[in-house]
């Protein structure tokens, strides 16, 4: 119950924050204008609109996940409001979990707002349903929850600026993990191969959730059993990663002197 | 939290690394199986000299827009005549978005047709590269028919003039859908029938046309029942696209079936009434690098004679230069028309960039291949040379095909 109360308060605060609102409004404007951008390219318009829209939503959601989560704990410490919270019968782990769930809900609400506009633009433009978009959006959401967990873990022991920088760095590294995989294949030195392999397996591989290609070109990626296995394994992997990160965040916060 | 709980939590956090790593291996495996793995890595490896902002945008999830913008750039190069710059750019586009079908088909078409010497002869050394590019496209887009058809029609049938490979690719296109989820277009089956005819498989050709007739008859009947095709069609009747297409398909299939069947009957006695083609030619060097090939052949007017000059060890060279490096190979092909029993072709290999002439010996041949001839010539020679004979140069090296082919070996000094 305490966790849920903190989550609700966090969500309410996030909705009132102007920075996040700006990200959302810019994204919504870009989604509406994607119809105009599409005419600048020679390809089928709807392909461009879907691709561009998915890109905008990923970008905006990543910004909301990082900026929305990074300040949740450091600001409470900075403003000393954390003392009044922890003075009540609230455990530190409940505080961290409540903040994280609040961040996840914030991302969800923003993503739903963008998804509604995006889907309307696509359907009105093509006059037919595009169900694969929902699969893409769901994967974006799980990706952002993981990014939020990374940000939360960093935020419990560093400042807000370092958290934002660190989270964005991890996000970029995690998105080019496929390149690390290619490097493993071409590297000759066994030690470097082991090192890269370890890096690929341990660093949060955000590109696991990148299914934009299958959303844009459904003719090449049927939603069959294999795709379902892939999606469920990825979500399962993400869930375990989030649990591990939250455990780490709770432990670090427990250890931190306030 | 108590100390014991904290200790357990630390242990659990460390232990969770194991399922995370194991599941990442599974995700990699599944990602490979569904076809989502690979392109980002290849893009960074490609050393493509792409602006870093474009690579960044592509990796950040804006792949299709970046590919679209590069496609505009490639089109710009085309209009400026910069074909050499265009080809590597198209390769990069397919790395960014491996599902941009137009890029594969247009890129391969450029390689086949647009690299021409001063006399407008296309560079035939690039045909294997065009085919390789399209095969890569097929691998990346296995569920849509387009590139199977492109390989069969534009490349094997029209350019390489290899009907047996064209048949293979048309058959593979059969049953594949279009990008907007429509069934395989009817022209794929028409092309398959034409390819069978080109390959001398007349019974298969007739069967294929019959299949087309059966299909379109059923379609027309269905549309008649639904009222889309009225019972009385007048000049003023407006038909839907679907109805027009079904009627056109039926008409084309019927007329082709009748044509092939009639010709089969007409050509039935050709094996017992063969024409001696008596192919012969002489070579005259007009100036260094330019040869005039003049010859005679007892064939109808408009019969084509393929005059080919290539390295004596061309097969070995072709193997070595199957990549983008082609400066090792020389191949020149021209088709001369027979008029009143005579033909003449100019072999101009003065352009060093197209004809590097690295070998010491060259093979010059003139060939009459009935499978590639117009129908009037085939009426005399047969689809596969059933009516063709040549006292000196009959070539039966290809099973089921009789052609006339004279080959002369020339030293480099006789050409340059």
Residue B49 pLDDT more than 70? no
Using one digit for the tens of pLDDT, what is the confidence trace for A73-119?
Answer: 988 888 888 888 888 888 888 999 999 999 999 999 999 999 999 99
Range of weakest confidence among A236-250, B225-239, B355-369: B225-239
Q: A217 or B255, which is more confident?
A: B255
Q: What is the pLDDT averaged over residues B52-68? A: 68
Q: Which of A219, A229, A250 lies at the smallest CB-CB distance from B143?
A: A219
The separation between CA A193 and the C-alpha centre of its own chain, rounded to angstroms, equals 29
Q: Do B27 and A216 touch (CB under 8 A)?
A: no
Instruction: Pick the closest to residue B54 from B388, B44, B45 (CA basis).
Output: B44
Q: How close B21 gets to chain A, by Cα (Å)?
A: 5
Range of weakest confidence among B67-81, B159-173, B185-199, B313-327: B313-327
Q: How far apart are CA A235 and CA A69, in angstroms?
A: 21
The neighbour count for residue A90, using CB atoms within 10 Å, is 17
Q: Which of A40, A176, A230 lies at the smallest CB-CB distance from B31?
A: A230
Residue B280 pLDDT more than 70? yes
Whole-number pLDDT of residue B137: 93
Chain position carrying tokens 């890595």: B41
Closest-approach residue (CA) in chain A for B103: A43
Whole-number pLDDT of residue B1: 62
pTM above 0.80, yes or no: no
The first and second tokens of residue A101, run together, are 């769930």
Residue B147 pLDDT more than 60? yes
Q: Which of B17, B61, B177 lies at the smallest CB-CB distance from A219?
A: B177
Q: What is the pLDDT averaged over residues B99-104? A: 88
Q: How close B54 gets to chain A, by Cα (Å)?
A: 14
Q: How close B80 gets to chain A, by Cα (Å)?
A: 18
Question: What length does chain A have?
Answer: 258
Closest-approach residue (CA) in chain A for B28: A208
Residue B17 pLDDT more than 50? yes
Whole-number pLDDT of residue A18: 77
B170 near B158, Cβ under 8 Å?
Answer: no
Whole-number pLDDT of residue A246: 95
Contacts of B12 in chain A (CB under 8 A): 247
Q: Which of A42, A53, A200, A220 to mutate to test the interface with B (most CBs of B within 10 A)?
A: A220
Q: How close B40 gets to chain A, by Cα (Å)?
A: 6
Q: How close B164 gets to chain A, by Cα (Å)?
A: 28
Whole-number pLDDT of residue B42: 56
Q: B165 or A214, which is more confident?
A: B165
Q: Which of B16, B68, B140 lies at the smallest CB-CB distance from A42?
A: B68
Q: B127 or B378, which is more confident?
A: B378
Contacts of B30 in chain A (CB under 8 A): 226, 229-230, 233-234
Percent over 90 (pLDDT), chain A: 42
Q: How far apart are CA B106 and CA B90, in angstroms?
A: 9
Range of weakest confidence among A154-163, A225-234, B33-42: B33-42
Q: Do B27 and A179 touch (CB under 8 A)?
A: no
Using one digit for the tens of pLDDT, what is the confidence trace for B72-82?
Answer: 888 888 888 77
Q: Binning pLDDT at 50, 70 and 90, where does residue B117 land?
A: confident
The first and second tokens of residue A125, run together, are 């433009």
Q: Do B17 and A219 touch (CB under 8 A)?
A: no
Q: What is the pLDDT averaged over residues B321-345? A: 81
Q: Which of B28, B63, B144 lies at the smallest CB-CB distance from A219?
A: B144
Q: Where are the alpha helices (DSSP H) in chain A?
A: 2-16, 18-38, 45-70, 72-78, 81-87, 92-126, 132-155, 160-175, 177-186, 190-202, 212-216, 225-255
Q: Do B64 and A48 touch (CB under 8 A)?
A: yes
Phi, psi angles (nearest 5°) of residue B269: -95, 10
Q: How close A220 gets to chain B, by Cα (Å)?
A: 6
Whole-number pLDDT of residue B322: 44
Whole-number pLDDT of residue A39: 64
Q: Do B27 and A208 touch (CB under 8 A)?
A: yes
Using one digit for the tens of pLDDT, what is the confidence trace for B291-325?
Answer: 999 999 999 999 999 999 999 887 776 665 444 45
Whole-number pLDDT of residue B328: 78
Cβ within 8 Å of residue B89, ≥6 positions away: B70, B73, B74, B77
Contacts of A171 in chain B (CB under 8 A): none
Residues linked to residue B389 through DSSP beta bridges, in sequence order = B276
Whole-number pLDDT of residue B53: 59
């Amino acid at each position: 119950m305490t966790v849920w109360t903190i989550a609700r308060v966090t969500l309410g605060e996030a909705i009132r924050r102007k920075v996040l609102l700006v990200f959302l409004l810019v994204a919504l404007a870009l989604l509406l204008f994607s119809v105009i951008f599409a005419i600048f390219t020679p390809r089928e318009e709807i392909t461009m609109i879907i691709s561009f829209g998915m890109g905008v939503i990923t970008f905006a959601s990543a910004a909301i996940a990082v900026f929305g989560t990074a300040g949740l704990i450091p600001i409470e410490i900075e403003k000393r409001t954390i003392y009044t919270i922890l003075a009540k019968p609230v455990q530190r782990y409940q505080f961290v979990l409540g903040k994280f769930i609040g961040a996840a809900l914030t991302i969800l609400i923003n993503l739903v707002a963008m998804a509604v506009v995006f889907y309307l633009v696509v359907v009105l433009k093509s006059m037919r349903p595009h169900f694969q978009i929902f699969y893409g959006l769901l994967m974006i959401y799980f990706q952002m929850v993981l990014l939020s967990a990374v940000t939360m873990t960093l935020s419990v022991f560093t400042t807000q600026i370092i958290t934002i920088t660190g989270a964005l760095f991890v996000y970029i590294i995690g998105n080019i993990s496929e390149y690390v995989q290619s490097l493993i294949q071409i590297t000759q030195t066994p030690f470097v191969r082991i090192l890269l392999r370890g890096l690929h397996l341990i660093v949060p591989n955000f590109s696991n959730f990148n299914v934009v290609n299958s959303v844009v070109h459904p003719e090449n990626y049927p939603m069959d059993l294999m795709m379902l296995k892939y999606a469920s394994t990825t979500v399962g992997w993400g869930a375990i990663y989030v649990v591990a990160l939250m455990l780490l965040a709770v432990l670090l916060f427990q250890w931190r002197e306030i | 939290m108590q100390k014991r709980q904290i200790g357990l939590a630390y242990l659990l956090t460390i232990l969770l690394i194991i399922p995370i790593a194991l599941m990442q291996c599974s995700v990699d495996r599944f990602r490979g199986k569904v076809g989502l793995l690979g392109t980002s890595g290849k893009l960074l490896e490609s050393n493509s000299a792409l602006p870093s902002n474009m690579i960044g945008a592509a990796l950040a999830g804006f792949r299709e827009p970046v590919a679209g913008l590069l496609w505009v750039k490639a089109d710009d190069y085309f209009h400026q005549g910069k074909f050499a710059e265009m080809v590597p750019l198209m390769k990069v586009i397919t790395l960014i978005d491996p599902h941009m079908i137009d890029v594969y088909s247009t890129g391969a078409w450029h390689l086949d047709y647009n690299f021409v010497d001063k006399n407008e002869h296309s560079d035939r050394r690039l045909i294997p590269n065009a085919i390789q590019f399209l095969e890569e496209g097929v691998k990346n887009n296995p569920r849509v028919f387009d590139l199977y058809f492109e390989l069969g029609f534009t490349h094997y049938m029209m350019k390489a003039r290899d009907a047996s490979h064209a048949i293979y690719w048309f058959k593979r296109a059969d049953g594949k859908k279009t990008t907007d989820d429509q069934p395989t277009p009817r022209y794929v089956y028409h092309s398959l029938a034409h390819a069978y005819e080109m390959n001398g498989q007349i019974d298969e050709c007739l069967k294929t046309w019959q299949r087309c007739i059966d299909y379109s008859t059923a379609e027309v009947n269905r549309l008649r029942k639904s009222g889309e095709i009225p019972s009385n069609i007048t000049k003023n009747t407006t038909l839907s696209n679907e109805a027009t297409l079904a009627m056109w398909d039926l008409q084309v299939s019927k007329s082709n079936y009748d044509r092939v069947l009639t010709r089969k009957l007409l050509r039935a006695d050709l094996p017992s009434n063969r024409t001696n083609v008596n192919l012969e030619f002489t070579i005259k060097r007009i100036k260094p690098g330019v040869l005039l090939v003049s010859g005679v052949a007892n064939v109808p007017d408009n019969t084509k004679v393929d005059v080919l000059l290539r390295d004596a060890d061309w097969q070995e060279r072709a193997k070595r230069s199957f990549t983008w490096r082609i400066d090792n190979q020389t191949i020149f092909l021209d088709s001369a028309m027979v008029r009143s029993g005579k033909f003449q072709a100019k072999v101009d290999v003065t352009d060093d960039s197209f004809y590097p002439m690295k070998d010491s010996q060259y093979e010059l041949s003139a060939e009459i291949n009935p499978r590639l001839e117009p129908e009037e010539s085939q009426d005399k020679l047969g689809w596969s040379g059933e009516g063709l004979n040549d006292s000196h140069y009959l070539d039966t090296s290809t099973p089921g095909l009789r052609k006339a082919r004279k080959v002369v070996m020339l030293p480099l000094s006789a050409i340059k």
